[in-house]
Structure 1
Amino acid sequence: MLQCYNRGCGKKFNADENTDESCCHHPGEPFFHDVYKGWLCCNKKTIDFTEFLNIKGCTLSKHSNIKPPEPVKEEKNIEIVTEVPKVERLPIKSTMERPPFNETLTKVHPVVLPALKEAIDSLIPKLKESSLSNRVETDIKIGTSCKRSGCTAVYSTETIDSECQYHSGYPVFHEGMKYWTCCQKKTSDFTAFMNQKGCSYSKHKWFSDDQNSEVVNCRYDWHQTGKDVIVAIYAKLYHYENSSIEINPIRLKVSLCFPEQNNAKFELDLELRGIIDVKKTTAKMYGTKVEIIMPKAEPGSWAKLDFPRSKQVSETVQNDVDNKGKQSDSENSDVDLDDLDPVGMGPKILNLS
């Protein structure tokens, strides 16, 4: 007995009894598409595999013991690319050279919000009225000199209501040069330095600041974006005119004055971790805080806001610079520099006569 290999038949047959109507099979190819199975020759399809196997053939012919050829699978020639694509790397920018900490400071002119301005403008007259009860003008002696730096006016009936022209910064003596930090007019001649007119205008100050003024502790915080570093100092009722914000590329120095607390001050002097763009730095004074926005001079994230720095070290360095200037100028000048009393970070001229 021979085995029939026609599709859909699968019976065994005797070659002597094999006729043209002995085999019932499918001459076409089977197909499997989605969930359907069927034969292309008779277009019969079903979703059940057992029913598919039991579909009767659609053509009668002789049995065949020859296996039909299996379909040849096309071999796809896949080329393996061994070349590694070249990636063009951008040149690494060299980091900026860090400037010295004692570089000249630039004053930032903040935007004062109306809420703060109205609060301080209404507070100052009340404080003046209360201070007059304790200190009247009769306490000022005729001939008393103005306590502001660079002003040579003395107290008299003619100068009570006159305008005071003074230097809001402090004097610097460095490598033979003398200048004020507020207007930066440098000169090597001490007489010309003493005769420099002030760059700020206000009322005369006949009384010196109390030495026992309190120190205010204010909370401050910071955060950063991809381009800016923002410092926020939380404070209320600070005087917007008597407060100052000064910076250089790696330094932030803030001084806030509180008139309601006997002109007590909050001082902040930080050496910044990174380098900032001084020209693009801005500040805003709100009723509850001071916000300073410092653009980064080079991209990157700061791990911290500042480097730990002792305040005494910075004051010692400044004093050493001032002392060197005094020693070099005392040989060529008739003015005794011992008459310069330190106020803030530098000496202040009290009397030139």
Structure 2
Amino acid sequence: MTNLELKISASLKQALDKLKLSSGNEENKKEEDNDEIKIGTSCKNGGCSKTYRGLESLEEVCVYHSGVPIFHEGMKYWSCCRRKTSDFNTFLAQEGCTKGKHMWTKKDAGKKVVPCRHDWHQTGGEVTISVYAKNSLPELSRVEANSTLLNVHIVFEGEKEFDQNVKLWGVIDVKRSYVTMTATKIEITMRKAEPMQWASLELPAAKKQEKQKDDTTD
């Protein structure tokens, strides 16, 4: 696997610089505010949409997904309960499968794997995937690829992570492929090895199995 070149836009650099300045100005307050949970704070557990309303929220049962979001062959589901759907909004609305306590503070949550809206389009010579993640962190993000496989790992908005592995429908020229990171999204531009229309972004499961059979017979 090869790490694709990351091109960082001016808009992202400006946004990250602003975030660094604001976080620097708040450092003196951190010790005082460290344990304080503000009203309206969202729960950090996956799939939970509850917000902190006061002390009663500390006793409330959290219904959440203990696993990670998975996007595969057009389907979206959580690894813990595997209720598959092709609709992004339906996926986001899926009720959690685990009961526990809310997680209100970042220091307890650490990095949080979250779903991101993404789509793709193509021209005769290129395929482009757009991942709508704001303020991505170039130093912590990476996109790896070989001619038929793409691994995406994006860290954005400080503590959020997006991961996706894609078995590509066609073959790409890795050396001529690259990633553009802006303040509002990440665009992965893959150069096609041959100028042809792809039937889809991902290789269908049936074709994967055929490939595996061919590999074993060879």
The TM-score bracket by the shorter chain reads 0.5 to 0.7
TM-superposed deviation, 1:124: 2.8
Which residue in 2 is equivalent to 1:239? Answer: 137
TM-superposed deviation, 1:114: 0.8
Which residue in 2 is equivalent to 1:108? Answer: 4
Which of 201, 204, 213 aligns to 2:111? It is 213
| Structure (1/2) with the larger helix percentage | 2
Show structure 2 runs of 5+ residues with no match: 35-106, 206-218
Q: Conserved in 2, the CA contact under 8 Å of 1:117 and 1:240?
A: no
Cα distance between partner residues in 2 of 1:282 and 1:225: 16
TM-superposed deviation, 1:127: 3.5
Aligned-residue CA RMSD in angstroms? 2.7
TM-superposed deviation, 1:300: 2.2
Deviation per residue, 1:78-100 (Å, 9 max, x gap): xxxxxxxxxxxxxxxxxxxxxxx
Show structure 1 runs of 5+ residues with no match: 1-104, 137-208, 310-353
Cα distance between partner residues in 1 of 2:151 and 2:169: 14
TM-superposed deviation, 1:290: 1.0
**TM-score with structure 2 length normalisation?**
0.53
TM-superposed deviation, 1:111: 1.2
Which of 182, 196, 200 aligns to 1:304? It is 200
Cα distance between partner residues in 2 of 1:273 and 1:122: 40
| Structure (1/2) with the larger strand percentage | 2
Matches for 1:1-353 after TM superposition, within 5 Å: 105-127=1-23, 129=27, 132-133=30-31, 213-260=111-158, 263-307=159-203
Cα distance between partner residues in 2 of 1:259 and 1:277: 31
TM-superposed deviation, 1:299: 3.3
Aligned residues: 131
Cα distance between partner residues in 1 of 2:4 and 2:136: 17
TM-superposed deviation, 1:240: 2.2
SS of the aligned residue for 1:118 comes to helix
Cα distance between partner residues in 1 of 2:199 and 2:162: 25
Cα distance between partner residues in 2 of 1:251 and 1:224: 17
TM-superposed deviation, 1:121: 1.8
Q: Conserved in 1, the CA contact under 8 Å of 2:168 and 2:202?
A: yes
**TM-score with structure 1 length normalisation?**
0.34
Deviation per residue, 1:18-65 (Å, 9 max, x gap): xxxxxxxxxxxxxxxxxxxxxxxxxxxxxxxxxxxxxxxxxxxxxxxx
TM-superposed deviation, 1:109: 2.0
C-alpha distance 117-212 of structure 1, shift in aligned 2 (>3 A) = closer
Relative contact order higher in (CA < 8 Å, ≥ 6 apart): 2
C-alpha distance 132-276 of structure 1, shift in aligned 2 (>3 A) = same
